[in-house]
């Protein structure tokens, strides 16, 4: 059981340019929407305190640039992440197709201890728009194939499902964080397992 000290959950939002990463973050943290957020350059984050099952935790939510070439700098920002939020735009099939590469890239760069069980959450954003092009079923199938990744359909503009999605993100991140803590309490035992070796070798790509 994790100790009752202050808990910081690091959450990384990834997805193609213009799917609404900054808007989702701002809707959740500031309860505000603007269609004039500038394209994110580099990285930035916002923090918010939330209750998860009567525990107060601080979420540190990282927003990054969506254009692929800027991801080579991601490693500095992904390190120590407790949950990764993959976003796409339900009106843009290409942004949905990119989910695979965002997930892969994150696992390579963040190299979490247990990649098969690292918590991801998928958000299909912009459901307020009429020209929807990716069906719920198709998205659910993808999430199912990736070890039952939780899936939410959101609108950052209309504040639909944003709160609910981030509650799940917080809960799953907390579970991940607790596991890491448990792991760190018994480093000698774990040193002997294969998992640990995999972590040490993970950066030799």
Which residues of the chain form contacts with another protein (CB under 8 A)?
A: 17-18, 35-39, 41-45, 60, 65-67, 69-70, 72-73, 76-77, 94
CB nearer another protein, residue 46 or residue 159: 46
Q: How many other CB atoms are found less than 10 A from the CB of residue 100? A: 13
C-alpha to C-alpha distance for 106 and 87, rounded to whole angstroms: 13
Cβ 38 to another protein shortest distance, Å: 5
CB nearer another protein, residue 71 or residue 155: 71
Cβ 174 to another protein shortest distance, Å: 19
CA nearest to 20, candidates 174, 136, 160: 160
Cβ 196 to another protein shortest distance, Å: 20
CB 125, CB 155: distance < 8 Å: yes
Bridge partners (DSSP) of residue 77 are: none
CB nearer another protein, residue 72 or residue 200: 72
Cβ 72 to another protein shortest distance, Å: 5
Tokens of 75: 């490693």
């Amino acid at each position: 059981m994790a100790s009752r000290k202050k808990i910081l959950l690091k959450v990384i939002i990834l997805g193609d340019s213009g799917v609404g990463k900054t808007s989702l973050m701002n809707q959740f943290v500031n309860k505000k929407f603007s269609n004039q957020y500038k394209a994110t350059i580099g990285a930035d984050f916002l923090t918010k305190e939330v209750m998860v099952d009567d525990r107060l935790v601080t979420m540190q939510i990282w927003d990054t640039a969506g254009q692929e070439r800027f991801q080579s700098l991601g490693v500095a920002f992904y390190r120590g992440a407790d949950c990764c939020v993959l976003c796409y735009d339900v009106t843009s099939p290409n942004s949905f197709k990119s989910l695979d590469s965002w997930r892969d890239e994150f696992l390579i760069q963040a190299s979490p201890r247990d990649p098969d069980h690292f918590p991801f959450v998928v958000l299909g954003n912009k459901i307020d728009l009429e020209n929807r092009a990716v069906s719920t079923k198709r998205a659910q199938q993808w999430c199912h194939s990736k070890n039952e990744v939780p899936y939410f359909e959101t609108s950052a503009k209309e504040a639909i499902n944003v709160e609910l999605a981030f509650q799940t993100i917080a809960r799953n991140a907390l579970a991940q964080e607790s596991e890491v803590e448990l792991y760190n309490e018994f480093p000698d035992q774990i040193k002997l397992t294969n998992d640990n070796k995999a972590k040490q070798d993970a950066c030799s790509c």
